[in-house]
Structure 1
Amino acid sequence: MGESPGVTMGFMPFPRGGSAFVALELAQRLQRSVSDFSLVAGSWPEGPNPKMSDARRFFAAVQRLTTMNYSPDAAPSGSGDVVAMHPSFEYKEDVSDRVLSDFTPAEGAAFTESWAQALKPTDGPGRHSVLHLHHLGPMNLAARRTGTPVVAHLHGTEMKFVIQAQEAASSSGRWTGHSAWRYADHWAKELQQAAREAAAVVCVSEDDATLATELFALPSGAVHIIENGVDAGYFGPLPLDDRDKLRYWTKWLVNDPQGWDGTAVPGTVSYSEQLLRDSFVNEAGRMRPVLLCVSRFLRWKRLTDVIDAYVMARDEHGLRSPLVIWGGYPGECEGIHPYEYARSKGDAGVFFTGWRGPEDLKYGYAAADLMVNGADSEPFGTAILQAMATGTPVLSTRTGGPAKFIQDSGPRQNGWFFDLGDIKGLAHLLTELVGNIESWRDRLGTESRRLVLRRYSWERVVEDFHGLYDATLRTGAKVRG
C-alpha cells in the first residue's frame, strides 16, 4: 500500500453516532500510513455527554486535530473559539442542533464561512491534496473555496434528509408547510450540487450507492462502494459467565444508570436491583437469554416495531427474556420517546441503558444472546457487525448492509431476517429463538465472527481509500468506480 500525500479529513457534527466511530477508526489508521494527515472535527465540549461530544476527548488518538467548538448560544456569524451549532440531518424538537432545512441561506453561509477558514490550505505541515469529508453539508460547500479534490463519504443520513426535504418542498409531503422545513428545497439542491462536484462519492453499501446515483443524478459508475470495517480485536468473544453478565447489567441499569426520559437528563431512567434480578434471572438461578437492540432514537430505526413485537411475544406467547434498548444520545429523539412508548404498552421486561461508550458496549454485546434490528433502511449497520464480531447473532430486517452480511440459511448461517413491519412474525421469531437457544447460540455466534474476520477488517478499508486518494490525485478529475 503506497503513501498518499496530504489528506485532511473533515467531520462536521459533534461526535455521537456510528459515523463518528467510522471517522475515528479511519483517522487512527490513516495517520500511520498517510504522509501528512489531519482531522478537522466538530465538537461540543459542554454537551450532555462530553466524553463523546467533546472531539478533543473522542478523537484523542488523532495526533493532528483541529476542533470547531460549537455552542447553542453562539450567533450564526460566530467565529474564533466558538461557532454556532451545526445543522442536523434529522428534525427533532427541543434540541440544540436544528434540522438543516430550518437554516436560512444567510445562516448557512455564515456557518459555511466558519468551515472555509478551518479547511483553508496551508503551506508545510497541514497542507492537503485531498479532502476526505464525511456526510454532505455546509462543510462541502466550504471546500469549494479550497480548490482541493473532495472525497465525499456518505453515511446514509444525508440522503434521508434530501428525500425528506424533497417531500417537504412538494405540495403534499409529510413536512409540507412545517416551519422547520421552509428552506428544504434550497438545501436539497445545495447537497445535490455538492455531491455532483465531488471528485469521488463513497457509499457504504450497494443499496446506498444505487440511491445516491439516483438522488444526486450522478453518472453511472460515479459512486464507489467502500464498506465500513470492524475492529475484531476490540469487539471479540468474552468469556462471561452468568455472574459476570448479571454484574454488568446491574452496573448499567442500577448502579450507574444513563437512561433518560423526556427531560433528556442521563440517569432519569433507572431500575431497582430486585426488578433486575426478577427480569434477568430465572427460577433456577440462571440468566435468561437477553435480547439487545442498539440504536439511536430515530424514526427509521423503527424501535416501536421492536417494542410492539416484544410486548406481543411477552403477553401472548409467554416470553420471559428481557429486552434491552441500548443507546439514544441524550436529547436526541425523533417522534415519540421509546421509553414513553414502552411505558404506554406496559414496560415489564423492557430496559433502557442510555448512551454508553464502546468500552461498555463490547461487554453489552457479550452479555446479550441475540441482537435485534428493526430499521427500515439501515445504510450499513456497524453495530450489527460489532455484535457479530463478539459472537452475538442478529435478527434483522433485510435492508442495506444487513441484507448482504447476514446469512439466514445454509452451512454458514449466522442470523435471521424478518419482514419489515411484520410485528406478529417478529414476535413469533423472538419466542421461537429464545425457546431453542441452545440449538443455535454457539454455532451461529461462531459463524458471525468468522464472517467479520473474513470480510470486514479496517486494514482493507484503509487500503481502498488509499487507492481512491491516489486515483483522485492522478486524474485530477472525477474518479469512476
Structure 2
Amino acid sequence: MLNTDTTAPNVDTAVIFYPRGGSAQVVRYLNRELDRRGSQTLVHAGSLGHPGDPGHAPTFYHGLRLHSYDYNEAYAKFVAGKDSQAGPRPFHPSYEDRSMPGRRCPDPMFSATAPPAAARLANAWTAHLRGRSTSPDVLHLHHLSHLQTAARRAYPHTPRVTTLHGTEMKQLQGIRERLALAEHLQTTVDALAITLDPDRPATLHRLTHEHQLDGDQQQLLAGTDWGKWQWSRYWDRAIATAVRHAGRIICVSEHERDLARELFPHLAHTDIPVITNGVDTTRFRPAELSDEQRLAFLHRWLVSDPRGWAEGQKTGSIRYEADDLARLRDPRTGHLRPLLLWVGRFLDFKRVPVLLRAFAQLSKELQTPPALLMWGGYPGECEGEHPQEIARRLGIEQDVYFVGWRGHDELPDGLTVADLMVAPAVREPFGMVYIEAMAAGCPPIATATGGPARTITPDGPDANGWLVRPDDTDDLAAAIKQALVNPLERTRRAATGAAHAARTYGWSYVADRYITEYETAIANGDGR
C-alpha cells in the first residue's frame, strides 16, 4: 500500500559528484517525489559546466531547490596544468581510474589523493554544507567519502542516512587487495609506488619469485600502477571513519549489502535495509514504433545532433551522414536490422570490450547481422582503450554507432528504438538502466553478477531478460543470438519485464521505503 497522501519529512540531500551517474538520477527522482508529497527538500550537489551541459547541476536538477558546489574553477586549474585539488574549492576524487597513459583527468582516484588534499576536501564541503536548510528532519547522504565527515560538522544534531551505491565499495575492495599484497611482500603500498618502476622490471621479477606469488597475486602486482594507490592506507581508514559517521546505512541491492557487511565487520549484525533504485514508469513504458519513426530518432541522434566523441576530442567529433544510416536497413527486405543498445559510462567494470568482441563474433553468424548503438560514454571519461578504437580493430566500425552522452529524458526513446539492451557489466552494484529497459519493453541481457542477478529473471514463465556468465564472450554472443532468432520469446520477455518494472520499481514505492527509513533514523537519532 502506497502512502502517497502522507507528508514526507523535510530532507536535505548531499552528493559530492557533478551529475554523471546513477546516484544523480536517484537524487533527482526521489526528491521530486518527496516534493510532490509536501516535503521541503534541499539538494547539495557538485556542478561542472554551464547551462545545458550534462554535468551542470542547475540544469540537471531543474525544479528542485539546489545548493550547488561549483567545480568550474578547479577544472580550469586542471586545464591550465595545475593541481585541481589545491585551493579552497578543490575538485572531488573518483572511485574509478580515469587517468590513463597519455590521458589526464581532473579527478584522480581517492587512493591517489594525498591526506592534505583530503583535508581540504572535507573543509570545503563542511563550508558548503553550512548553506543548509534551517531545520531539516533528516540529512540523506550518497556514497562514502569525506562527505560524512563534513556532514557531521555542518549538521551535528540532524539524523543522517547514507545510501551506498557500490562504487565506493569497489574502490575499497581494490585498496584492501593491494594492502594485503603489500603486507604479503613485507612492504607497503607507498614503497611499491617508488620501487616498482616500469623501467626496472627486475624488481617485479624478484618480488614474484622471492615471495612465491600465485597467478592472481602476480597479475595484481604487475597490473597495478602503484602510484595511483599510494594513499591506500589513509583512505582505508578514512572510509572506515565515514561509515561510523554515516548514520543509518542503506544499500541498493542485496549484493551490495552483503559486500558492506564483509568489508565492515562491525555491520555484520546490523540491520541494513535494501532499497533498490527506481524507474519513472510514466516515461519508461513500451511503445510500438515504425521503422520510419525509429530512423527519425536515429537521424537526430547521429546526424543532426551528434554527441559521440573520439579519443581526446570534443563532443560531436564522431559524426554520421545519411548514407551511414542506410546501412541500418537489411538489403534483402528493406526493413531495419535488429538494433542492440548499450547504455553506460566507459568504465572498466562495464566490460565494453567483451560486448564488442561478442558483437563481432555474432555478426558473422547471423544472416541479418544486428547493429549496435553505444549510448553514453561521459565526455572525456574512459577507462582503458576507447571503444571506437576497439571496434575499428575488430573490423566492426561500420556497424557500431556512437550516440554519445544524452540527457536521461531521451533514454526512453532510445530504449523503444532498440530491440535489446545489452550491457555485460560485472558486479554492477544495482544497474538502474536494466529496470528502465524492462519498463520500456526492451528486454535486457546482463551478467549473472551484482544487482542484475537479482532483478533479472532468466528462465521460466516470469523470465524478463537473459543472464550470461561474466567475461564470457561466447556465452554473451549465444544469448544475443538466441534472443534475436526467437522474436516471440523476446516479445514475451519484454511484456513480462514491463509489468514487473511497473509493479516493483515505481518511484512512489521507492519513496515509501525511504520515508520509512527516514522516520526510523529520526526516531533513533542515527548519526547524531
2:221 is aligned with 1:211:
no
Partner of 2:238: 190
TM (norm. structure 2) is 0.85
2:20 is aligned with 1:16:
yes
8 Å Cα contact 1:279-1:320 kept in structure 2: no
8 Å Cα contact 2:240-2:264 kept in structure 1: yes
8 Å Cα contact 2:164-2:250 kept in structure 1: yes
Matches within 5 A, 1:89-128: 89-93=95-99, 94-120=104-130, 125-128=133-136
When structure 1 is superposed on structure 2, of 301-310 and 144-153 the one drifting more is 144-153
Q: Secondary structure at the match of 2:43?
A: strand
Matches within 5 A, 1:6-405: 6-33=10-37, 35-46=39-50, 50-62=52-64, 64-70=65-71, 71-73=74-76, 76=85, 78-79=87-88, 83-93=89-99, 94-120=104-130, 125-145=133-153, 146-147=155-156, 148-169=158-179, 170-171=181-182, 173=220, 178-217=226-265, 218-318=267-367, 320-347=369-396, 348-405=398-455
8 Å Cα contact 2:427-2:451 kept in structure 1: no
Q: Secondary structure at the match of 1:410?
A: coil
8 Å Cα contact 1:15-1:43 kept in structure 2: yes
Counterpart-to-counterpart distance in 2, 1:319 and 1:107: 54
Q: Secondary structure at the match of 2:76?
A: coil
The alpha carbon displacement at 1:177 in A equals: 5.7
Counterpart-to-counterpart distance in 2, 1:61 and 1:281: 44
- Paired residue type of 1:73: A
Counterpart-to-counterpart distance in 2, 1:382 and 1:288: 27
Counterpart-to-counterpart distance in 1, 2:363 and 2:225: 41
Counterpart-to-counterpart distance in 1, 2:225 and 2:421: 39
Aligned length: 470
- Paired residue type of 2:87: G
Counterpart-to-counterpart distance in 2, 1:76 and 1:34: 38
Q: Secondary structure at the match of 2:176?
A: helix
Cα distance, 1:285–1:400 mapped onto 2, change above 3 Å = same
The alpha carbon displacement at 1:361 in A equals: 1.4
- Paired residue type of 1:44: L
Counterpart-to-counterpart distance in 2, 1:412 and 1:176: 43
Partner of 2:206: none
Counterpart-to-counterpart distance in 1, 2:455 and 2:277: 12
The alpha carbon displacement at 1:50 in A equals: 4.7
The alpha carbon displacement at 1:415 in A equals: 1.4
When structure 1 is superposed on structure 2, of 200-209 and 148-157 the one drifting more is 148-157
Deviation string 1:333-355 (CA, Å, 9 cap, x unpaired) is 11111111111111231111110
8 Å Cα contact 2:85-2:92 kept in structure 1: no
Counterpart-to-counterpart distance in 2, 1:177 and 1:90: 13
When structure 1 is superposed on structure 2, of 151-160 and 246-255 the one drifting more is 246-255
Q: Secondary structure at the match of 1:286?
A: coil
Deviation string 1:233-259 (CA, Å, 9 cap, x unpaired) is 011122311101111112212222111
Q: Secondary structure at the match of 1:31?
A: helix
The alpha carbon displacement at 1:457 in A equals: 1.1
Counterpart-to-counterpart distance in 1, 2:300 and 2:465: 29
- Paired residue type of 2:444: V
Counterpart-to-counterpart distance in 2, 1:8 and 1:187: 26
Partner of 2:189: none
- Paired residue type of 1:400: G
- Paired residue type of 1:56: P
Counterpart-to-counterpart distance in 1, 2:407 and 2:331: 29
Counterpart-to-counterpart distance in 2, 1:401 and 1:219: 20
TM (norm. structure 1) is 0.93
Q: Secondary structure at the match of 1:53?
A: coil
The alpha carbon displacement at 1:399 in A equals: 1.8
Q: Secondary structure at the match of 2:470?
A: coil
The alpha carbon displacement at 1:196 in A equals: 3.0
The alpha carbon displacement at 1:272 in A equals: 2.7
The alpha carbon displacement at 1:77 in A equals: 5.2
The Cα RMSD (Å) is 2.1
The alpha carbon displacement at 1:317 in A equals: 4.6
| Largest Rg, 1 or 2 | 2
The alpha carbon displacement at 1:468 in A equals: 0.9
8 Å Cα contact 2:468-2:476 kept in structure 1: yes
> How many percent identity over aligned positions?
36
8 Å Cα contact 1:280-1:321 kept in structure 2: no
2:463 is aligned with 1:413:
yes
Cα distance, 1:269–1:315 mapped onto 2, change above 3 Å = same
Deviation string 1:64-121 (CA, Å, 9 cap, x unpaired) is 2100001323564534xxx221111111122222211222111111111111112237
8 Å Cα contact 1:192-1:215 kept in structure 2: no
- Paired residue type of 2:451: G
Ranges in structure 2 where 5+ consecutive residues have no aligned partner: 78-83, 183-216
- Paired residue type of 1:200: R
The alpha carbon displacement at 1:18 in A equals: 1.4
- Paired residue type of 2:371: P
Partner of 2:80: none
Q: Secondary structure at the match of 2:312?
A: coil
- Paired residue type of 1:361: L
8 Å Cα contact 1:295-1:326 kept in structure 2: yes
8 Å Cα contact 1:3-1:466 kept in structure 2: no
- Paired residue type of 2:66: L
Ranges in structure 1 where 5+ consecutive residues have no aligned partner: none
Deviation string 1:306-349 (CA, Å, 9 cap, x unpaired) is 11011011134555110111110011111111111111111231
8 Å Cα contact 1:77-1:111 kept in structure 2: no
Cα distance, 1:324–1:76 mapped onto 2, change above 3 Å = closer
The alpha carbon displacement at 1:195 in A equals: 1.4
Counterpart-to-counterpart distance in 1, 2:147 and 2:437: 32
Counterpart-to-counterpart distance in 1, 2:484 and 2:8: 49
